[in-house]
Amino acid sequence: MMIAGKKTLLIAVTSALTGIIVGLAISTGLNFNTAAYSEEPKISKGTIELLSKTNHAMAEVAAAVMPAVVNISSTRTIKTQDTANPFQNDPMFKRFFGDQFGGSMHPREFKQSSLGSGVIVDKDGYVLTNNHVIKDADEIKIKLSDKREFKGKIIGTDPKTDLAVVKIEAHNLPVLKLGKSDLMKVGETVLAVGTPFGLNQTVTSGIVSAVGRADVGIADYEDFIQTDAAINPGNSGGALVNIHGELIGINTAIFSTSGGYQGIGFAIPSNMAKTVLDSLIRSGKVVRGWLGVSIQPVTADLAKQFDLKEEKGVLVGDVREDSPAERAGIKRGDVIAEYNGAPISDPAMLRNLVAGTAPSTEVTVKLLREGKAQTVKVTIGELPASLQKISKEYDNLLKGAQVQDLTPEIRKEMNIPKHVNGVIVANIEEGSAVTGLLTRGDVLLQVNKKKIGSLKDYEKEVSVIKTGEDILLLIFRNGSTFYATVSAH
């Protein structure tokens, strides 16, 4: 960014230097054609007309979608402890000052603010955003494009997809129509609209770089649209729109080594967002479909062993007792090739499709069994509560770590040995004390030398740990067991 005064000085110096150069050229007899520098660029009329139409079209799309994108500021209360007095056990210190400066640690509170974006998806005030934008918020303020501000009320959150719905008391609002994200192709033009760094109504453009990105490590259910449209901190919860001005994604995360834009951003596809949105508005929670199988990718070696011509579909490693899959006749060793007409490419794809299917819906599943194709009808069930339950949050250094019971399904899917018992890490909140220490898929075997056999055990031990107190963990990861300390220092 250039300061105006410096710019004037720079122009004056440049002009003077140009005069000197021209004068030297004349005095030395050089052929210096200054007229060439005064000619207008030669751009054909057709090119200008084409680019003008493109500029007008992009500006028209941006103007149409910007009013439906809002700024979200949230405030939450953070509790910390005072630092213990380093002289609390010094006899000389106590002799002169007594115990009034003792080492007891008193809790302190301070307010932490964060900024994000949201998208109005209903004229009566429903706003779709990321869960991490409003997580643990004591107060939510939403600013519209016309500068009006409203207090936001959380309708429901879904950490497994990192989506949330907030309601404001307003009517006849501008909305974005949800497009069909499954129709987007790599290379198509998209616009990202949000409030990066708190800068309201910012629009960037790019293309769809990839679709169906999973295993990114952001959420439990991943099917991201990848884009090179600039997405920066504060864009979270904002809109990714197509050339029709339709919402095809909720901007969620960036891949960056510097914390800023590096050409790789991820958006939750609108198809997934719509399912979560409808469920949160209807019941305040997300009801997911359940098939009841443990699955794994089909590798070249497995394809050969199971008489498969191609490395497609997913291999069934186990079938849960009394599950929809068992009732439909699906068996261990089957390869699921299609789900309700959609070809299955990997486990994440099948998982997302099943989760997005309403319970009691009958679907068609195409199987390959011993090299032969067959079709079965399956009535999808509801994901059992035991498979959804995750840990509570506690006001200590393990805050931000979400764990759940190590179920037989998870054990098989993650290839965790039978002798390993504990709770599995489901998610780590960015910026928490355990960021970089724990990762998704870690199994916590002990907390402060106390054996952890279930989620109940974990919550019992963690609930008594004080704010700021160091925590010793015994962790199982990639076949190895090791100790690690969570410390505030």
The answer on pLDDT for 207 being more than 60 is yes
Residue 31 falls inside a structural domain: no
Measured between alpha carbons, how far is residue 28 from residues 15, 16, 144, 467 in Å? 20, 19, 65, 80
Q: Are residues 406 and 368 both part of a single domain? A: no
| Burial annotation 279-307 (CB, 10 A radius, 16+ → b, else e) | bbbeeeebebbbbbbbbbebeeeebeebe
Q: Which of 22-26, 48-52, 446-450 has the highest mean pLDDT?
A: 446-450
Active-site annotation, residues: 132, 162, 236
> How many Cβ atoms sit within 10 Å of the Cβ of residue 259?
9
Query: For residues 433 and 114, which has the higher predicted lDDT (pLDDT)?
Result: 433
Q: Are residues 281 and 296 both part of a single domain? A: no
The answer on pLDDT for 447 being more than 50 is yes
Residue 29 falls inside a structural domain: no
Domain that holds residue 71: 48-84+106-286
Q: Average the pLDDT over each of 116-125, 261-270, 273-282, 339-348 and give the range with the smallest value.
A: 261-270
Predicted pLDDT at 325: 92
Predicted pLDDT at 231: 84
Query: For residues 174 and 136, which has the higher predicted lDDT (pLDDT)?
Result: 174
Residue 276 falls inside a structural domain: yes
Q: Are residues 425 and 365 both part of a single domain? A: no
Q: What is the CATH number of the domain that holds 446?
A: 2.30.42.10
Interior angle at CA 338, CA 337 and CA 341, nearest 5: 155
Interior angle at CA 38, CA 36 and CA 41, nearest 5: 85
- Percent of the chain residues past pLDDT 90, beyond the cut: 32
The answer on pLDDT for 347 being more than 60 is yes
Total number of domains in the chain: 3
Predicted pLDDT at 388: 61
Mean pLDDT rounded to a whole number for the chain: 81
Residues 53 and 489: their CA atoms lie apart, in Å, by 58
- Taking only the tens place, the pLDDT of each residue in 72-124 is 988 876 655 454 555 555 555 555 555 555 544 555 665 666 688 999 999 99
Backbone angles phi, psi at 131, to 5 degrees: -60, -40
- Percent of the chain residues past pLDDT 70, beyond the cut: 79
Q: Which of 26-35, 171-180, 402-411 has the highest mean pLDDT?
A: 171-180
Please, what is the end-to-end C-alpha distance for the chain in angstroms? 38
Predicted pLDDT at 298: 85
Predicted pLDDT at 109: 62
Residue 478 falls inside a structural domain: yes
Predicted pLDDT at 294: 82
**Mean predicted confidence (pLDDT) in 327-347:** 90
Q: Average the pLDDT over each of 89-98, 198-207, 321-330, 477-486 and give the range with the smallest value.
A: 89-98
Q: Are residues 254 and 304 both part of a single domain? A: no
Out of 286, 305, 333, a domain closes at: 286
Out of 232, 261, 286, a domain closes at: 286
Q: Are residues 227 and 152 both part of a single domain? A: yes
The answer on pLDDT for 14 being more than 50 is no
Predicted pLDDT at 167: 94
Predicted pLDDT at 168: 93
The answer on pLDDT for 37 being more than 60 is no
Residue 325 falls inside a structural domain: yes
Predicted pLDDT at 9: 37
**Mean predicted confidence (pLDDT) in 144-150:** 91
The answer on pLDDT for 3 being more than 50 is no
Q: Is the pTM of this model over 0.75?
A: no
Q: Are residues 222 and 122 both part of a single domain? A: yes
The answer on pLDDT for 405 being more than 90 is no
> Which of 186, 146, 205, 191 is CA-nearest to residue 170?
146
Residue 196 falls inside a structural domain: yes
Q: Which of 24-28, 181-185, 303-307, 437-441 has the highest mean pLDDT?
A: 181-185
Q: What is the CATH number of the domain that holds 228?
A: 2.40.10.120
Out of 220, 252, 286, a domain closes at: 286
Only one residue has tokens 């991490």, namely 132
Instruction: Decide: 268 and 226 in contact? Cβ < 8 Å.
Output: no
Per-residue confidence band for 391, with pLDDT thresholds at 50, 70 and 90: low
Residues 383 and 364: their CA atoms lie apart, in Å, by 19
Q: Are residues 240 and 306 both part of a single domain? A: no
Which residues are CB-neighbours of 173 under 8 A, at least 6 positions away? 68, 120, 122, 123, 124, 125, 144
The answer on pLDDT for 11 being more than 50 is no
Q: Are residues 161 and 247 both part of a single domain? A: yes
**Mean predicted confidence (pLDDT) in 360-367:** 93
The answer on pLDDT for 274 being more than 50 is yes
Residue 9 falls inside a structural domain: no
Per-residue confidence band for 427, with pLDDT thresholds at 50, 70 and 90: confident
Instruction: Decide: 416 and 367 in contact? Cβ < 8 Å.
Output: no
Q: Are residues 240 and 327 both part of a single domain? A: no
Q: Are residues 400 and 340 both part of a single domain? A: no
**Mean predicted confidence (pLDDT) in 246-255:** 86
Task: Using DSSP, state whether 246 is helix, strand or coil.
Answer: coil
Per-residue confidence band for 130, with pLDDT thresholds at 50, 70 and 90: very high
Residues 281 and 271: their CA atoms lie apart, in Å, by 16
Residue 459 falls inside a structural domain: yes
Instruction: Decide: 22 and 32 in contact? Cβ < 8 Å.
Output: yes
Predicted pLDDT at 239: 92
Q: Are residues 349 and 443 both part of a single domain? A: no
Predicted pLDDT at 386: 60
Predicted pLDDT at 1: 35
Q: Are residues 214 and 303 both part of a single domain? A: no
Measured between alpha carbons, how far is residue 248 from residues 145, 181, 221, 274 in Å? 20, 5, 17, 10
